[in-house]
């Protein structure tokens, strides 16, 4: 049996594991560029196989950045350190289940506004209505299809209203521009290869996320930059092409009106 088949099977099992309190595990993309202007999804599930398949599924969509927690307790800490745009949370977990986690989030002004989507095998109409009455913005049924999970998340975000997430995206967009300028300067030094790789990672995230918020020019510029930055670092001509594409992207970001930031 292949690894992907094994993970798919794990994702289709109902969660009923034992407690596993551990550290928050960021994805490689989040570790490399924690401030990238992607849409932040925090996934909470005590079952490690399901956490892994969700991360793999959402990593296929460049619009998303994912972090995982193995308990509601860990999630309450992570939302402060790494504020997500949406929380994807299992209903059935030991110690603190999904509804209890949602209730705790709603108690704090810092986290009360974060939209939460439940994942559950209890997807009958009566249960769905109950979960939404608790404050969930959506419910994704288990078993779920890893190939369509990202589309389901996008649907939940549309239901929330992208305007509610817009300010946070623009704020991270400007932070990204600052980081990219530092990377541009590093292209001429001994860390040129690492700088170009980071530029490519940022461009990949922006190409996926910017279009969701209507910044089509940023999406096009980021996609062009990603393609150029994917080439092996080489001579001065190659660096010049990366710099030119990066400057075009930075110009698009600069054109975002200051009034759109909070």
Domain limits for position 10: 3-161
Q: Are 82 and 32 in contact (CB under 8 A)?
A: no
Give the separation between CA 118 and CA 102, rounded to whole angstroms.
10
If one counts every other C-beta atom within 10 angstroms of the C-beta of residue 187, the result is 20
Instruction: Give the Cα separation of 24 and 44 in Å (integer).
Output: 10
Residues 6+ positions from 155 with CB-CB distance below 8 Å: 138
50 and 69 assigned to the same domain: yes
**155 and 25 in one domain?**
yes
Residues 200, 81, single domain; the answer is no
The answer to whether residues 69 and 19 touch, using CB atoms and an 8 Å cutoff, is no
Q: Is the pTM of this model over 0.85?
A: no
Residue 47, phi then psi, degrees to nearest 5: -95, 115
Are residues 150 and 213 located together in one domain of the fold? no
| Domain co-membership, 23 together with 72 | yes
Spatial contact of 202 and 36, defined as CB atoms under 8 Å apart: yes
CB contact set of 219 (below 8 Å; sequence gap of 6+): 206, 207, 208, 210, 211
Interval 201-223: pLDDT, tens: 999 888 888 887 888 999 999 99
**Phi/psi at 141 (nearest 5 deg)?**
-80, 145
Residues 28 and 129 in one domain: yes
pLDDT at 178: 93
Domain end position, chosen among 140, 161, 182: 161
With contact defined as beta carbons under 8 Å apart, do 229 and 249 qualify? no
Look at 128 and 59; give whichever has higher pLDDT. Answer: 59
Q: What is the pLDDT of residue 129?
A: 83
Q: Are residues 119 and 187 in the same domain?
A: no
Indicate the residue among 138, 161, 184 that finishes a domain: 161
- Residue 97 and residue 214 in one domain: no
The C-alpha atoms of residue 217 and residue 201 are separated, in whole angstroms, by 18
Q: Which residues contact 133 (CB under 8 A, 6 or more apart)?
A: none
Specify whether 116 is located in the same domain as 218. Answer: no
Q: Is there a single domain that holds both residue 11 and residue 139?
A: yes
Residues 18 and 138 placed together within one structural domain of the fold: yes
Does 47 score more than 80 pLDDT? yes
Q: What is the pLDDT of residue 13?
A: 37
pLDDT score at 229: 94
Name the residue with higher pLDDT: 44 or 122. 44
Greater pLDDT, 248 or 237? 248
Q: Which CATH number does the domain housing residue 103 bear?
A: 3.40.50.2300
Radius of gyration of the chain, Cα coordinates, nearest whole angstrom:
20
pLDDT tens sequence across 78-132: 999 999 989 999 999 999 999 999 999 999 988 988 999 999 987 677 787 888 8
Residue finishing a domain among 144, 161, 178: 161
State the total domains in the chain: 2
Do 91 and 203 have their domain in common?
A: no
Torsion of CA 192, 196, 201, 206, to 10 degrees: 130
What distance in Å separates the CA atoms of residue 144 and residue 157, rounded to the nearest whole number? 18
- pLDDT at residue 32, as a whole number: 39
Q: Are strands 116-120 and 138-141 parallel, antiparallel or unpaired?
A: parallel
- Residues 26 and 178: their CA atoms lie apart, in Å, by 23
- If you average pLDDT over every residue of the chain, what do you get? 81
């Amino acid at each position: 049996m292949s690894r992907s088949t094994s993970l798919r099977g794990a994702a289709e099992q109902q969660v009923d594991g034992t407690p596993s309190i551990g550290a928050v595990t960021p994805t490689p993309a989040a570790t490399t560029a924690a401030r990238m202007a992607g849409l932040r999804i925090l996934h909470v599930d005590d079952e490690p196989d399901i956490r892994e398949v969700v991360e793999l599924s959402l990593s296929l969509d460049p619009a998303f950045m994912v972090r995982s927690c193995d308990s509601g307790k860990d999630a309450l800490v992570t939302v402060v350190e790494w504020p997500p745009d949406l929380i994807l949370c299992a209903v059935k977990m030991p110690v603190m289940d999904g509804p209890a986690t949602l209730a705790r989030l709603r108690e704090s002004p810092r986290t009360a506004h974060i939209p939460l989507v439940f994942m559950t095998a209890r997807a009958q109409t009566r249960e769905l209505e109950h979960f939404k009455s608790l404050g969930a913005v959506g419910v994704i049924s288990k078993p779920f299809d890893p190939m369509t999970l990202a589309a389901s998340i996008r649907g939940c975000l549309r239901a929330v209203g992208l305007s509610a997430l817009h300010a946070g995206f623009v704020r991270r967009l400007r932070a990204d521009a600052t980081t990219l300028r530092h990377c541009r300067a590093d292209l001429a030094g001994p860390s040129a290869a690492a700088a170009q790789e980071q530029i490519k990672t940022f461009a990949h995230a922006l190409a996926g996320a910017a279009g969701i918020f209507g910044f089509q020019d940023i999406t096009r510029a980021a996609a062009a930059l990603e393609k150029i930055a994917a080439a092996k670092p080489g001579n001065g001509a190659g660096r010049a092409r990366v710099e030119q594409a990066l400057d075009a992207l930075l110009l698009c970001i600069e054109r975002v009106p200051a009034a759109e930031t909070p």
